[in-house]
A and B are shown apart, each in its own frame.
Chain A
Amino acid sequence: MKVVGARIPRYDGVAHVTGRTTYVDDVRVPGTLWAKALRSPHHHAGIKSIDTRPAEEMEGVRAVVTHEDVPLNVYGHLSALGIPADEPLLAEGDVRYLGQPIALVAADDEDLAAEAVSRIEIEFEERPALLDVRKAFDADAPVIHQWGNWYPHFEAEMDRRQIRKGDVAAAFEQADVIVQGAYRPAAIEHAPIETQVCQVVPEPSGRLTIYSCTQALYFSMGVVAAHLQCSLNKLKFVGGTTGGGFGGKVDTATETMCCLLALRSGRPVKWRWTREEEFLCSSTRAPWHMEVADAVTSDGWILGRKMLTLHDAGAYARFSPYGLTKHSFHHTGAYSIPNLEFDGYVVFTNRSPTSAMRGFGVTSVSFATETQVSRIADVLGLDPIEIRLKNANRIGDTSPNGVVYTDPSTVSTLQALAESTGVELSAEYRTMTSEPRTGEWLPEHLVPQLGNPEEH
C-alpha cells in the first residue's frame, strides 16, 4: 500500500512539460494521405443521387469511399450486447443529422482532400426535421428513424425503460403535498483540446496499425473489426495517449473510416477533425427532458416518486439505451424513495448522436433530483441538508432496481458538507450514521423496501 492515500508524481508529467508526449497527431509516417468527409449539410434529407467520379478523377486523390465499400455498413455500438444496429458508418439513402458522413476522400494533402470532397456531386431532398424531444410523440411529428421516433428494443421488446417499485398510488394518496418539477439540462460538447484524430498504416503483413485517440481501445477494435468483417488479429491498435476525451472519444469516430481509406489506397491515412467538425459532428452529452412528481409528508419524508424521462439520443441509438438504463437505476439520487413509477424513453431527433460524458446518464438525474429535493425543502420550509439526511440512503435500503446498499456514503457526505459550509445541524442529524434504520429513522413506509445487506 505505497500508493493508496499517498500523493505521487504523475508518471507522464515530465513528458508533458517537455513536449515529449506523442499524441496521435504527432505520429509521423512518410507518405501519409489526408482524409476528409463529405458531410450532410441538412438535418434531415433523402439522398437522391451521388456521383463521386469528379473527386476520383482529380490528380492526387488516392481513394474515395461510400457506403458501398463498407463490408458491414450498419453496426450498432451495442451490437455486442445483442442490441439491434441502426447506424450506418456512411449514410445510405438518407441523412438524419447535420454533419453525418456520407463519403470519404484520401488525398495527398489536406487542402486537396477538402477540394475533392467539394467536387462530389450530390442531390438531396430535404425533409422536415425533428429537433425537440417533446414533439417526438405528436401525431404530426415527422418520423425520422426506421424504428419510429423512440427506441423500441428494451428487454421483452418494450419501448421504454420502466421501473415499478412498491405502491405509488397509495403513496400519492397518503401524501400531504405533491411537489412537481421539470428539468431540462442542455446538450454539452466535450470540446477536448485534441480534436478527433486517427492515423492508420497498412502493414506489409496485411495488418492495419491504428494510432487512435480512443478512450475505449478494445471496444473500438471490435467496432472496426465488425465493420471491416475481419478478425481482431488483423488490427493493431496503438492508444493510451488522449488529449482530453471526457466521454467524447468513446464512440469510434474516425478509426474505421481511416482503415477503409488505407485499404483502398494502400497508403497510410490520417484524419484530424477541424474544431468546427468537433463542435458540429462529434457526439455530445445528451439534452434531457425530465418531469418529476414527489409525494411528500409535511415533516419531509419522500413517500413516492413518479418520473418521466425523455433522453435525446440524436439521430441514432449508439449507447443511449445503456445511458438511460443507468439513469433509471439512479433516478432517486442518493435518497431512499420506496414507491416508484419511472418511465424513460430513448427518443430519436435530427441532432448529432449523443453519447457518454462524465457520469453517463447519471449527471442529468442528479441535477433533477438535487434541485427537486431543494424545492421540496422550500415548499415545506425545512432545512435543505436535514431533509436530505432524513431521506438519505442507509445500509439495508434498496436502490430503484432492488440493489441492497451495503456501504452508502450519503450521510457522511452531507455531514461533511454541513461542516465545511458552517451549517449547524441539530443533534439528531449531527450524530446520524449510515447504520441500518431503526426507531424514528425507520418509519412504516420504509419497511417494505428493506433488504439484507449480509446477503450482498
Chain B
Amino acid sequence: MNISVNGVAYETESSPLTPLLDVLREELGITSPKAGCHQGGCGACTVLVDGEARRSCILPAAYADGAEITTVEGLGAPEQLSTVQQAFVHHYAAQCGFCTSGMLLAAQAYLNHGGTDDPSGIQEALGGHVCRCTGYLKIVDAVAAAARGELFDLTTTAVGKYTTLTGGGVE
C-alpha cells in the first residue's frame, strides 16, 4: 500500500487489516499517535486522513491506501508551531501530553471545517477524546483561542482564569 504521512510518501508492508495506528507506530516509527485503548474509545490515536479526524487504532490500513495522513508532526515543528499548537502551550492545555496529539488533530479538523470559538461546538468536536489530567477547560479555551486566530509567542501564558465555558471569573 501507498500512504503519504505529513507529505512524505511511504510504501508499507503491513497487511491491509493492520490498524493504521500500528502501521504508523510500528512500521514507520511515527509515534505521536498513542495507543491509549486500542479499541476506539479514548481518541489518543486520532490522525487526519485526507483532512478528516479518524481513530487510527480501529481503522484498517487499507482504508488509508492512497490517502494523505497528518499527525501532529505535520501540524508544525517546534520552531514553527501552528496556531492551535501555540494556543495549547499558552493555555496549559497539555499536562502529561498523552492525549494531546489526538486532541490537537481533532481540533485542527474542527477548525478546518470552519469551527468557531463557540464552546458547545468545540465540546462536540472533542467530545470523544478522554483527558485525565487537565480537566478539559484549558483545552476548550485553547481551541477557542485558535478559532479566533490568536497567536502566541510562547513567552506568555494564560492569565489563570478559564474563560470559554464560564464567561470569565473562575480562577
Which residues of chain A have a CB within 8 Å of any CB of chain B?
Answer: 7-10, 12-23, 25-26, 28, 190-195, 242-246, 272, 274-275
**Bound complex: CA of A26 vs CA of B101, how far in Å?**
14
- Known pairs A13-B92, A17-B104, A193-B131; list 16 more (Cβ under 8 Å): A12-B94, A13-B88, A14-B81, A17-B85, A18-B77, A23-B98, A26-B31, A190-B132, A192-B98, A193-B98, A193-B99, A194-B98, A195-B36, A243-B97, A244-B133, A275-B39
Residue pair A15, B157 in contact (C-beta under 8 Å): no
**Is there contact, CB below 8 Å, between B96 and A275?**
no
In the complex, what distance in Å separates the CA atom of A19 from the CA atom of B102? Answer: 10
Q: How far is the CB of B91 from chain A (nearest CB, A)?
A: 10
- Does B58 sit at the interface, judged by CB under 8 A? no
Of B68-76, B110-118, B119-127, the one with at least 4 CB within 8 A of chain A: B68-76
Report which residue of A16, A20, A22, A244 has the largest number of chain B beta carbons within 10 angstroms of its beta carbon. A16
Q: Which of A14, A15, A16, A191 contacts B132 (CB 8 A)?
A: A191
Number of A-B residue pairs with CB-CB distance less than 8 Å in the complex they form:
106
Q: When chains A and B are docked, how far (Å) is the Cα of A30 from the Cα of B90?
A: 37
- B49 interface residue per 8 A CB criterion: no
The answer to whether A9 touches B157 (Cβ under 8 A) is: yes
Q: Which B residue sits closest to A246, measured CB to CB? A: B132
Q: Of residues A10, A18, A244, A275, which shows the largest number of chain B Cβ atoms within 10 Å of its Cβ?
A: A18
User: From residue A197, how far is it (CB to closest CB) to chain B in Å?
Assistant: 9
Query: Which of A9, A12, A13 counts the most B-chain CB atoms under 10 A from its CB?
Result: A13
Q: Which residues of A contact B89 (CB under 8 A)?
A: 9-10, 13-14, 17
Is the C-beta of B78 less than 8 angstroms from some C-beta in chain A?
yes
List the B side residues contacting A15 at CB < 8 Å. 78, 97
Distance between Cα atoms of A311 and B141 in the complex (Å): 40
Residue pair B96, A194 in contact (C-beta under 8 Å) = yes
Closest CB in chain B relative to A7 CB, distance in Å? 4
Closest to A245 in B: B96
Which residues of A are found within 8 Å of B56, using beta-carbon distances? Answer: none
Q: Kindly name the residue among B90, B101, B159 whose own CB sees the greatest number of chain A CB atoms within 10 A.
A: B101
Contact between chains at B81 and A17 (CB < 8 Å) = yes
Question: For B38, what are the chain A residues with a Cβ–Cβ distance below 8 Å?
Answer: 274-275
Given contacts A246-B132, A272-B35, A275-B39, contact A17 B100 (CB under 8 A): yes
User: Which of A7, A12, A194, A245 is close to B34, meaning CB atoms less than 8 Å apart?
Assistant: A194
Contact between A244 and B73, CB atoms less than 8 A apart: no
User: Which A residues are CB-close (under 8 A) to B154?
Assistant: 9, 13-14
Q: A16-B100, A17-B88, A193-B131 are in contact. Are A275 and B37 (CB under 8 A)?
A: yes
21 A–B contacts from the bound complex (CB under 8 Å): A8-B157, A9-B155, A9-B157, A10-B94, A12-B97, A13-B92, A13-B154, A17-B75, A17-B88, A18-B75, A19-B72, A23-B31, A23-B34, A25-B34, A25-B35, A191-B132, A193-B99, A193-B130, A193-B131, A243-B97, A244-B133
User: Is B41's beta carbon under 8 Å from chain A?
Assistant: yes
Most buried by A among B36, B97, B98: B97
Say which size band chain B's interface belongs to: 35 or more
| Set of chain B residues within 8 Å of A13, measured between Cβ atoms | 88-89, 92, 94, 154
| A residues near B159, Cβ cutoff 8 Å | 7
Tell yes or no: B32 within 8 A of A by CB: yes
B66 interface residue (CB < 8 Å to A): no
Neighbouring B residues of A12 by C-beta, 8 Å: 94, 97
Whole-angstrom CA separation of A195 from B98 in the bound complex: 10
Which 8 residue pairs are nearest across A and B when measured between Cβ atoms? A19-B32, A243-B98, A16-B97, A26-B31, A275-B37, A16-B94, A13-B89, A19-B72
Chain A residue, CB-CB nearest to B130: A193
Most buried by A among B36, B44, B158: B36
CA distance A272 to B36 in the complex (A): 10
Cα distance, A47 to B77, chains bound together (Å): 54
Check A7 against B31 for contact (C-beta < 8 Å).
no
Q: Which residues of B contact A244 (CB under 8 A)?
A: 96, 98, 132-133
B32 CB contacts on chain A under 8 angstroms: 19
B33 to chain A, nearest CB (A): 8
The 0/1 profile, CB within 8 Å of A marked 1, for residues 128-154 of chain B is 001111000000000000000000001
In the assembled complex, the CB of B151 is this many whole angstroms from the nearest CB of chain A, namely: 14
Q: How far is the CA of A337 from the CA of B89 in the complex (A)?
A: 46
Interchain CA distance A195-B42 in the complex, whole Å: 12
Residues in B with CB closer than 8 Å to A275 are: 36-39, 41-42
Which A residues touch B77, using CB under 8 A?
18
Whether A21 touches B97, Cβ cut-off 8 Å, given contacts A9-B154, A15-B78, A193-B131, is yes
Closest to A25 in B: B35
A10 to B130, CA, bound (A): 21
Distance A272 CA – B25 CA, assembled complex (angstroms): 14
| Complex Cα gap A347–B94 (Å) | 38
Task: List B contacts of A193 (CB < 8 A).
Answer: 34, 36, 42, 44, 96, 98-99, 130-132
Contact status A14-B97, CB under 8 Å: no
Q: How far is the CA of A195 from the CA of B34 in the complex (A)?
A: 10
Residues of A within 8 A of B39 (CB): 275
B155 touches A7 (CB 8 A): no
Answer whether residue B29 sits at the interface, using C-beta atoms and an 8 A cutoff.
yes
Instruction: State A282–B71 Cα separation when bound (angstroms).
Output: 30
A42 to chain B, nearest CB (A): 25
Residues of B within 8 A of A16 (CB): 88, 94, 97, 100
